[in-house]
Structure 1
């Protein structure tokens, strides 16, 4: 891969995640402060991510993989997304806003797979080359969060003025840039011959369902769905929580989580070497327990360190469970079912698991809404912490360590 192509792919990744991080992190705060949305309505808005994840395989498997170049579909979807972003920017109430955010997530979620396809198509050794490209996506997400706080859109004055609307305009402009830029990316032709028939089971990854006959993988699969319930609480409630308790520059500070994600990714091979897959996954689960307990008892005054540690635990929470889980899934699937297995675990977690999680988080937020329109955050955060405790115990008792896979896991992590 030439330096020029590497720069273009890095810029593509940067914009892809700048767009997502530029509005999704502050969505809950925007809905509550600007559109006066309830917890249930906020849950419905966040659930569009799950519906997008469920619908995405159809777009990728039935259209992108069969009829059109990936980079052209990528550009087309981002240009549509830019228009939807502008409509979200203009929406005056939740009733107007919801159809646009639903449509946006349906067109955005497939682009996460498309940018990977475009990247992998240019690589001779993805295991060594992809991380250097993908890290620019994390940098884009971080920069978006820092800009929001730098421009004071998430400040008390900014919220009063409805400044968080500008996040949709910012992301919409970035969508136009990426949409047009995508047509200049290296050609990534369809993977499937036009005349070849593709089964729905292949598109959704259901061909990999036979992996669930393996008791260990079944326990991991169920645990993955259940741990997504606490994960949904973080995506939906973290920014509104930090804003409501008065933490300065909350969106900027939340980027500490993405920095930690990069750092702990580098530690994965070490953990696989020393502890194996079970203990690595357990560390990730226990980090969810600790994070929400820290949020429950922390505050923006003397307990601010607890909030910051809770944010910084994102790297362990995400990398040690979800990234490790993807690697574990890959090692269990074998060559024939690799893609199907990744599709199945994505559908189960970001689709089913988080859909349930967002719904529960919305109900909990409404239940603990106080008379002055603030929330009993201690009670709210103890619920996902308790759920994470139960899932951790379930996994620790039922999952058996697999010594044979350790070397393969280490190789994949590196």
Structure 2
């Protein structure tokens, strides 16, 4: 689990900065590179549902995917143009996104009580992501002004390649996790994509939440694509290391989520999460690397509220509405809608906005760039506030700190 998320955190956070500084990529090209995550999320259910769940042990396909990913990551390290880089990152994300489900499958199948045991394993994923950022900023200084000027950011892909190679080989030593489904069993595209859960959209409240989930992914895409390049461009030291504050915050606010559910209810909790996006981007718009650095740090630290209070709460809400028969299908549908459709739209808009506010000297008008996702988040807040009617979740679906 540590290696799984160390690999992702080793390159994904700094990719926007690398593309702009090393490959002179435009905002639209950078958006296209980040959008590969969405394509991977859309295609992943087919790989899991049609192949991994029926023909191969989970630990073996996990190993094959990471070994293949190591080769693609090395190609990204050697890329000297966006034309060479993009096909490699596209293929890599097609292979990597299914591993997020596979590593969970291997974990769950070895546990007698996943609800109690999984948290102590999954937390190492968060530690892995944080460790990657700390290594980049404070051990190798690849994202320092001197490091970026000398092109050292490309070494993040080499580090990820080595970690992927290690995990690929290590995966074959994991406990055997054979497929549960019979090889000859029939599976429909509807089952794989969770389309049976579309019946939930007949519920007006859930429809409002579903649309809000897609729309709030637009501001989320701005953060993934622009946060690291923004911090680096305005002169914040060790930007990747400072961004790990967001992951620490995510872990802490997850523990507070049950308290907010109990005290304020589901609707208010979601609204707090969406309002946090507005505050975060407003702080980014007016903060700077000197006297306004505290605004940037607070904006980064709000990641826990932004993510946990909306996306994790949304997963819990979806589970409560679906019922046991279509629980898996419903989770698949909301994941496809957010990380697939929502993020694709978000990255496309973020790329265009970044190009529009590009100055003649190569810098950006970050104040204007960040106020746009802040404005979008305000509109989503108003949409959700007016149309969503508060509901009380049953006790069995209330969030527990161990579920992550």
Q: Which TM class, normalised by the smaller chain length?
A: over 0.9
Which deviates the most, 18-27 or 389-398? 389-398
1:230 match: 219
C-alpha displacement of 1:357: 0.3
The answer to whether the 8 Å contact 2:257/2:399 transfers is no
Asked whether 1:395 is paired with 2:384, we answer yes
Match of 2:343 among 340, 351, 354: 354
Asked whether 1:136 is paired with 2:113, we answer no
CA displacement, residues 204-252 of structure 1 (integer Å, 9 cap, x when unaligned) = 1111111111111111111000000000000000000000010000000
C-alpha displacement of 1:411: 5.1
User: Residues 225-264 of structure 1: matches in 2 within 5 Å?
Assistant: 225-264=214-253
1:109 match: 97
The answer to whether the 8 Å contact 1:272/1:406 transfers is no
Asked whether 1:266 is paired with 2:255, we answer yes
C-alpha displacement of 1:413: 5.3
Asked whether 1:125 is paired with 2:104, we answer no
The answer to whether the 8 Å contact 2:316/2:399 transfers is no
The answer to whether the 8 Å contact 1:64/1:73 transfers is yes
For 1:206 and 1:340, how far apart are their aligned partners in 2? 7
What is the TM-score with the length of structure 2 in the denominator?
Answer: 0.98
CA displacement, residues 349-387 of structure 1 (integer Å, 9 cap, x when unaligned) = 000000000000000000000011000000000000000
C-alpha displacement of 1:120: 1.1
In structure 1, the gaps of 5 or more residues are: 1-12
The answer to whether the 8 Å contact 1:327/1:412 transfers is no
Q: What stretches of structure 1 move > 4 A for 4+ residues in a row?
A: 411-414
For 1:374 and 1:306, how far apart are their aligned partners in 2? 21
For 2:10 and 2:276, how far apart are their aligned partners in 1? 26
The answer to whether the 8 Å contact 1:277/1:406 transfers is no
For 2:396 and 2:358, how far apart are their aligned partners in 1? 48
Asked whether 1:193 is paired with 2:182, we answer yes
1:154 counterpart SS class: coil
The answer to whether the 8 Å contact 1:276/1:406 transfers is no
The answer to whether the 8 Å contact 1:127/1:412 transfers is no
What is the TM-score with the length of structure 1 in the denominator?
Answer: 0.96
Q: How many residues align?
A: 401
2:24 counterpart SS class: coil
Asked whether 1:279 is paired with 2:273, we answer no
CA displacement, residues 277-327 of structure 1 (integer Å, 9 cap, x when unaligned) = 111111110110100000000000100000000000000001110111111
Relative distance call for 1:197 and 1:412 in structure 2 (3 A) is farther
Match of 1:74 among 49, 62, 73: 62
The answer to whether the 8 Å contact 2:316/2:398 transfers is no
C-alpha displacement of 1:408: 2.7
The answer to whether the 8 Å contact 1:277/1:402 transfers is yes
2:50 counterpart SS class: helix
CA displacement, residues 156-202 of structure 1 (integer Å, 9 cap, x when unaligned) = 11111110110000000000110011111112111211111000000
2:219 counterpart SS class: helix
For 2:385 and 2:172, how far apart are their aligned partners in 1? 48
User: Residues 377-388 of structure 1: matches in 2 within 5 Å?
Assistant: 377-388=366-377
Match of 2:327 among 328, 334, 338: 338
